[in-house]
Amino acid sequence: MGRTVAALASDDLEPAGRRKLMGRLAGEVRDRGVGRLFRPGAALRWMTDAVTDVAPHIPVRDLETLRRHFPGLDDDDLAERLIRNASRATAGVGAAGGGVASIEWVAAPTLLSAPVLLAAETVAVVAIEIKLIGELHEVYRQPITGGVPERAMKLVESWSGRRGVNPLVPGVGVAAVLGTAARKELQKTLLSRFGRNLTTMGPMLTGAAVASYLNRRATRAVGDKVRDDLRKKPAPAG
C-alpha cells in the first residue's frame, strides 16, 4: 500500500493513471479489512495507523531536485507551484474516487464499498499533503532531518497541526513514537478530512465534482498555512 500511495502522491499523473492507482489502493484497503469497520471510531483508528504506516514511503524531493524539476523559479514562486500542483493532485484524487463511487452507485453498492472508498481517498489525500509539507520545508531551507522514521513522524505531526515542523526526539517507528496527544491530534485532523470526503459518495458524478473542489480548496489551505509559517522562521545560515 505504501508504494501505491507514493505513486499517487506524484503531481504529474494523468487522470487515467490516477484512477487506476485509486482502484488499486481501494483493493489494498479492502484487503486490510477496513470494509468491516462500520463504526467511525474503528475506521478512524485504522486510518491513523495507515497514515503512520505509509508516511515513511512518501517521496519528498530535496531542494536540488526541485530546482531541477522547476528551473528559473525563486523560492516563493516555487512554493506556489508546489501548492498548486498538490491542490490539483488532491482534486484529481477526489474526482477519481468520486468516479469510482458513481459507478458503485449505479451498480447498487454494498455497505462495504463506502468505508473502503472513503478510507482510500483520505489516505491518498493525506499523503499528497504530507509530501507538500516536506517539500515546502526544502524550499525555505528548513529541511526535515533525521532517519526515515523520524522524518516521517515529524511530517505526520506537522500535517496534523498544519504548521512547520519543530524538532522532536528521534524514534524507532512512527506509530510507536507518536504520543497520546499527537495521535489524538492526528485522529482529529483525519476525522475532519474523512468527513469532507463523504462528498465522494454523492450520487452519480456530482460526488466527483464536489470532492474535487473541496480537496483542492483544503490542500491549498494546508499549503498556504505551512508556507506562511515557514516564512516567519529564519532560515539556517549558509
Q: What own/partner pairs with CB < 8 Å and gap ≥ 24 does 199-202 have?
A: 199/94, 199/98, 200/94, 200/97, 200/98, 200/101, 200/117, 200/118, 200/121, 201/101, 201/105, 201/114, 201/117, 201/118, 202/98, 202/101
Read off the pLDDT of residues 138-177 as tens digits, 9 standing for 90 and up. 999 999 988 888 888 888 888 887 767 654 444 434 444 4
In the chain, the largest separation of any two C-alpha atoms, in whole Å, equals 60
Query: What grid cell was written down for 198?
Result: 463523504
Name the DSSP class of 233. S
Has residue 179 got a pLDDT over 60? no
Per-residue pLDDT band for 204 (boundaries 50, 70, 90) equals very low
What percentage of the chain exceeds 70 in pLDDT?
Answer: 64
Residue 11 has pLDDT above 70, yes or no: yes
pTM of the model: 0.78
* pLDDT tens for each residue of 105-121: 333 344 335 567 777 78
121-127-133 Cα angle (round to 5)? 140
